[in-house]
Amino acid sequence: MTLEAVLASLHLVAILTLVVFMSSQAALCRTEWMNAAVVERLVRLDVIYNVTALVLLLTGLARVVWGIKGMSWYVSQPLFHLKVTLFVVMVLLSIWPTLSFRRWRSQLRTTGALPEPREVARVRRLVMVQSHVLPVVAVIAVFWARGW
């Protein structure tokens, strides 16, 4: 029972941390606020975001493997598969912003140029889509926990 509580707590902390850093990316990735410091900060936030997503995945896997309900219960649940699918969608959506932030930093360091406003808007849109998928995952978790 203690292991289940620890795993659930770590998973929840990872979720909340992911929300914080995803929100920070969404807040900073704006054409009107773009400057050299923001480009550098976006890369740092993205690294933390990606590490947090990995921790979220690992704590989720730990709950499936070592949790009190057992792996057979999780894999038999349709909402579990929907949550995992949406998480994968979020991961796929995060690839382009990650590559863009790193490209922007490289470009800034070599030429001093900031990213084009149109590209910033495109990347922000992807970050915003991710930030809207995450609450859907949370709603699914709530319904699933209530036996739906």
Torsion, Cα of 52, 6, 133, 122 (10° steps): -10
pLDDT at 130: 95
64 half-sphere exposure, CB direction, 13 A CA radius: 15
pTM: predicted TM-score of the whole model, two decimal places: 0.90
pLDDT (average), residues 78-83:
94
The residue with tokens 């709950």 is: 63
Average pLDDT, the chain: 94
pLDDT (average), residues 42-65:
96
Neighbours of 83 (CB within 10 A): 19
Asked if 67 contacts 4 with a C-beta cutoff of 8 angstroms, the reply is: yes
How much of the chain exceeds pLDDT 70, in percent?
Answer: 100
Q: What is the domain count for the chain? A: 1
**Burial bucket for residue 37 (CB in 10 Å: 0-12, 13-18, 19+):** exposed
pLDDT tens for 12-21 read 999 999 999 9
Enclosing domain of residue 96:
2-145
pLDDT (average), residues 96-122:
97
